[in-house]
Amino acid sequence: MQFQLQCPALGVLSSDKMAPQVKAVAKGARAALLAALLTGGASAQTIVSFDGFASHTGLTINSSAGVTTTTDGSVLRLVSTNTDLAGSVFTNSLVNVSGFSTAFDFRLTSPGGISDGLETGADGLTFALQTAGANKVGLYGENLGYGGTTFGHSIAVEFDTYYNSGDDPTLPNGGSNHVAVDLNGSVSSASNAVGITPRFDNGSLWTAWVDYNGTVLEVRLSDTGVRPTNPTLSYTVDIPSTIGASAYFGFTGGTGSAYSNEDVIDWAYSNTFVSGGINTPLSIPEPAAYQLILAGAALLWLRRRQFRLTH
């Protein structure tokens, strides 16, 4: 786990990746930059970030979930290519829900098992906020490791890969993959679901951004790594009134008679809303952004030095 600083004009600054650049700056400029960020002089925003999960301090991993190594590195595998599995991963501590922003990359691979009449592979994953406890998991299959009575006070964004006629919508595009908002352990989300193409379990790296400004929950999705301007799904909800002031943040996944590997590659979250969203650890700004940061730091240091000399 690492911590990042979110500067609205410059994006996310990762503490481990920024260090070699900062060392090249004069000591005074470096100190001025850090002082400005830490005291809010540059609109700093603290973010908790997992750049892979070789270290997963601060998280509780449950049931079928675990850390495994793939070509993406050390990833959180919520469920594997076996039937009737459910797994979850949640923060050890409660997180504020009055406003937040999160982003994560995920990859679903090796779909198989029975077909829903459209394609094989199931069932999908959720990003969930719940108050039952860090070590909890819901039911398998169409419940996505979230559904059932376990998470009575909760909200989840589901990334569903299998059509279940009792719970899922008939999509205009004729596909089965969709994103939707679930409440209080119910996965009957037909009323707000949005169809997704191509399918989630095509092996591509998908990025999800979930932002809540206190009134509207917005979900954005991309298989290119570029954050869309417009949300894929918008859902008006009073989350504190629905589940309480704070919750455990995390993920759930499930398989039934169909299956796939469901991997979360990386994850970042802020316990306050960030306008414009936050980056995943895989989308740290390029070196040019750091040059801009360092130039700003040097300018700030010079101005402070001139002030001291003239007063």
Q: What are 119-154's pLDDT values in tens digits?
A: 899 999 999 999 999 999 999 999 999 999 999 999
Per the structure, the count of domains in the chain is: 2
Q: Are residues 10 and 97 in the same domain?
A: no
Which residues neighbour 59 within 8 Å (Cβ) at sequence distance 6 or greater? 50, 53, 89, 90, 91, 92, 250
Cα-Cα end-to-end distance for the chain: 44
Q: What are 13-65's pLDDT values in tens digits?
A: 444 444 433 333 333 433 333 333 333 333 445 589 999 999 999 999 999 99
Q: Are residues 17 and 65 in the same domain?
A: no
Q: Are residues 305 and 253 in the same domain?
A: no
Residue 37 dihedral angles phi and psi, to the nearest 5° = -65, -45
Determine the Cα–Cα distance for residues 265 and 262; give it in Å rounded to an integer: 10
The kind and range of the H/E element at 218 are: strand 216-222
pLDDT for the residue numbered 70: 98
Q: Give the mean model confidence (pLDDT) for residues 186-204.
A: 90
Q: Are residues 164 and 39 in the same domain?
A: no
Q: Residue 213: which CATH number?
A: 2.60.120.200
Q: Are residues 10 and 143 in the same domain?
A: no
Q: Are residues 41 and 138 in the same domain?
A: no
Q: Are residues 257 and 299 in the same domain?
A: no
Question: Tokens at residue 169, please?
Answer: 């919508």
Q: Is pLDDT above 50 for 6?
A: no
Is there a domain that residue 161 lies in?
Answer: yes
Domain enclosing residue 31, as ranges: 2-45+287-310
Q: Are residues 303 and 212 in the same domain?
A: no
